[in-house]
Structure 1
């Protein structure tokens, strides 16, 4: 890893590795933060927690990373002169306070070129606390955050435990390359070449000030929301047994239930929204063993799926289950490949182009944004328009039942909640996790603060309630988003 950096990084101090095109697509995008909340029983010591955080930072290089841009505007992860991991401690006053903290943290841009790209909040009480971790999606996925919390608790309880550094790989190297040439490969290469050629005629380069401007402007108009499907330990076991009997995973069953509920409440998906994009953990499936690395390490096959009202719910869940696992087993990388585009072009069409119409006022706040906004014939804007037509309707990110112990010294892990990236465009985004014997799924979304039409939160509550009926828990229907 270090030799590769020395060869290619033009002498960037503290180099970890280059930011990949996939990671670049998430780097500047408002709402593309991922969060996890761990409810911990016992009196958490701030001092011991900080010590454990410092230890896991040494194990996982990207936890303590920043972004460095070289002369060609390639981005690199670097550990050089990055401040200590931030931990904000406040008194825990309610069981739903954690989500208010996440809503606040979404509005605060990360200091990309200063680092780190992760923040920690401890809502503390002597009996029970919530540890919240929010991270820029470019350096992690949901499983990375879950493993990070596990490692923090392990080293909290056992400070003398031996550490091993886990360097983050370029995940595209974990997926077998497609052999031979095909017409589609040749056409893709020509398409990328032509797009890059047009971009180079009028390129734009974005930095921290541009990212901060669009992030603040976006969250002045939008609010993030979440609705939970939460089963207690007994309910979780009943549901798990039922899924096993039907030959499906918990994730497939809940996803099918939410799609069916969306059909009932808002109508069936049409056109590109029929697409389901399913992130899966490459740590488990890659042909090369990488351990529990902390980085963005997911596959993301996408396929068309329509809920068939002529079949039973469990028959529909089985069809979805088969489609997902057929693609996971062959390491389908369709949703990961951002082939050969200029990195600065990715910034433009993935992050700065898509939200221009939503927050045009932000594009006068820096010179870079002003020049980009005035260049409306730029190829990035046409790409932005075309990408909207490829947006999937459902993105279920299920981490599954985690192989975690429940006791760490004088602390016990009660449950976890996982919140994936948030979008105002994708109709259904699910984040599932099983920890402490509990199954919890979140439905995350963004909606305008000044919304004169129907509330998306109310729609999501109705979808959640209908989904609970499909999976066999009608008694859990509630008018509250989070209990």
Structure 2
């Protein structure tokens, strides 16, 4: 399918940000089974027909607008790396997060196949995206479709028909088409000045002061919880009538031991009409909550749910329509200036349940880790993925030793709800075997 459409206001802002700030994120699939590189390349080419944004670039970028186009864009690249240590895959993620995309040539996605060596019975697929074209959930759907096709090559499904692991309900976008951007699917799309007030309230005042430490290299730390501990934690949350997201926020607030602002990524799919469902694209926003060591899980649940109401979320996306008269370079300069003055948050905590299968014929998806590099401040970005009855934690920051200690303390506080057998690794980059 040929793609050609204008950037939406939200996409234009992400484009402007990407000119001066990092905007990459990655999803790593750890897979048991054999996969020849040629088969993975074929799968990526086939899956591009289902998810056209895998092969786009920016065309005619001007002061106020640009176009997304698939003209003259090759299939996403696949780099082959042989693992030389258990840390190789996290080192690859760190490198890829810091390597910018050329938006004028595309594509805005790339992949690394990490061969685990002589055994030949497992591999990692590191999937890297410019945030302009994807969010973590749609990246997971791409993983599913690539493994599906690699396991049994065939014509890629053209529709999103009923399936147990797929979200249901409401109108949806089907077929191999580039779904409309979130801005075009909002209920009540007309922006008004009151949206600026909503945005100002959401951002609040300046965040509490953070310790002034020199930025170090970007580091990536991962760990996981086995099924029995994940189940016990979720059961405890349900018994308390709270949520995993609230429990995570409370644990990290206790670990900081001071007032903090927490960025909570929000999935927009549930409020868009028609729903993009499994389409690839940027269908996420961010809300903010404040907490300290005394804030209860119930209070955090209420604060998060209040921010996720449609009447609170919609203005945070719709407001970017008011920025159309602002030239792109001006937006970039403003975003850079704001970022260099310090992060708008102390920590970002993302928690997503990934509704994709584990088994793909001879292949099995054993783990799914997320990572992001979207801030110059070095504030830790925590991505928690729930899949196969387990929780997979990934944390990036430029303050590796301090953040490793922070995660250790947070998991200790979370462990007060249920006992954990595993703690975050003391050295960034080491990860448990699935």
Instruction: Please give the range of the TM-score, normalised by the shorter of the 2 chains.
Output: 0.7 to 0.9
Q: How far apart, CA to CA, are the structure 2 residues paired with 1:33 and 1:416?
A: 17
Retained in 2: the 8 A contact 1:301–1:333? no
- How far does residue 408 in structure 1 lie from its aligned partner after superposition? 0.5
What is the match of residue 170 of structure 2? none
What is the match of residue 286 of structure 1? 272
Q: How far apart, CA to CA, are the structure 2 residues paired with 1:45 and 1:148?
A: 18
Retained in 2: the 8 A contact 1:16–1:61? no
- How far does residue 298 in structure 1 lie from its aligned partner after superposition? 1.0
Retained in 1: the 8 A contact 2:24–2:98? no
What is the match of residue 322 of structure 1? 302
Deviations 1:146-197 (A, max 9, x none): 111011112222322432313221212222227897x736989xxxxxxxxx
- Which of 127, 130, 134 aligns to 2:124? It is 130
**TM-score scaled by length of structure 2:** 0.80
What is the match of residue 22 of structure 2? 31
- Which of 139, 142, 146 aligns to 2:136? It is 142
Q: How far apart, CA to CA, are the structure 2 residues paired with 1:186 and 1:419?
A: 30
Deviations 1:280-324 (A, max 9, x none): 22223424222211011113233x422252x6xxxx222212222
- Which of 167, 175, 184 aligns to 2:186? It is 175
Q: How far apart, CA to CA, are the structure 2 residues paired with 1:100 and 1:67?
A: 29
Q: How far apart, CA to CA, are the structure 1 residues paired with 2:339 and 2:23?
A: 20
What is the match of residue 344 of structure 2? 391
**In structure 1, the residue corresponding to 2:74 is in which secondary structure?**
coil
Deviations 1:18-77 (A, max 9, x none): 122322333324421010000000111212211111111111111100110256551111
What is the match of residue 296 of structure 1? 282
- Which of 426, 429, 432 aligns to 1:479? It is 426
Retained in 2: the 8 A contact 1:74–1:343? no
- When residues 223 and 20 of structure 1 are mapped into structure 2, their CA distance, relative to the original with a 3 A threshold, is farther
- When residues 387 and 318 of structure 1 are mapped into structure 2, their CA distance, relative to the original with a 3 A threshold, is farther
Q: How far apart, CA to CA, are the structure 2 residues paired with 1:284 and 1:424?
A: 30
Q: Which runs of 5+ in 1 are unaligned?
A: 3-13, 189-220, 356-383, 448-455
CA RMSD of aligned residues (A): 2.8
What is the match of residue 69 of structure 1? 60
- Which of 114, 119, 127 aligns to 2:105? It is 114
Matches within 5 A, 1:185-334: 223-263=217-257, 267-269=258-260, 274=261, 276-302=262-288, 304-309=289-294, 316-330=296-310, 332-334=313-315
Retained in 1: the 8 A contact 2:253–2:292? yes
Larger helix percent: 1
- When residues 109 and 479 of structure 1 are mapped into structure 2, their CA distance, relative to the original with a 3 A threshold, is closer
Q: How far apart, CA to CA, are the structure 1 residues paired with 2:12 and 2:22?
A: 14
- How far does residue 133 in structure 1 lie from its aligned partner after superposition? 0.6
Q: Which runs of 5+ in 2 are unaligned?
A: 159-174, 199-214
**TM-score scaled by length of structure 1:** 0.73
Q: How far apart, CA to CA, are the structure 2 residues paired with 1:457 and 1:232?
A: 24
What is the match of residue 345 of structure 1? 327
- How far does residue 144 in structure 1 lie from its aligned partner after superposition? 1.3
- When residues 89 and 474 of structure 1 are mapped into structure 2, their CA distance, relative to the original with a 3 A threshold, is same
Q: How far apart, CA to CA, are the structure 1 residues paired with 2:10 and 2:357?
A: 33
- How far does residue 412 in structure 1 lie from its aligned partner after superposition? 0.3
Matches within 5 A, 1:456-475: 456-472=399-415, 473=419, 475=421
- When residues 249 and 93 of structure 1 are mapped into structure 2, their CA distance, relative to the original with a 3 A threshold, is farther
Q: How many residues align?
A: 385
- When residues 347 and 426 of structure 1 are mapped into structure 2, their CA distance, relative to the original with a 3 A threshold, is farther
- When residues 71 and 327 of structure 1 are mapped into structure 2, their CA distance, relative to the original with a 3 A threshold, is closer
- Which of 33, 48, 51 aligns to 1:42? It is 33
What is the match of residue 19 of structure 1? 7
Q: How far apart, CA to CA, are the structure 1 residues paired with 2:290 and 2:371?
A: 23
Q: How far apart, CA to CA, are the structure 2 residues paired with 1:186 and 1:324?
A: 20
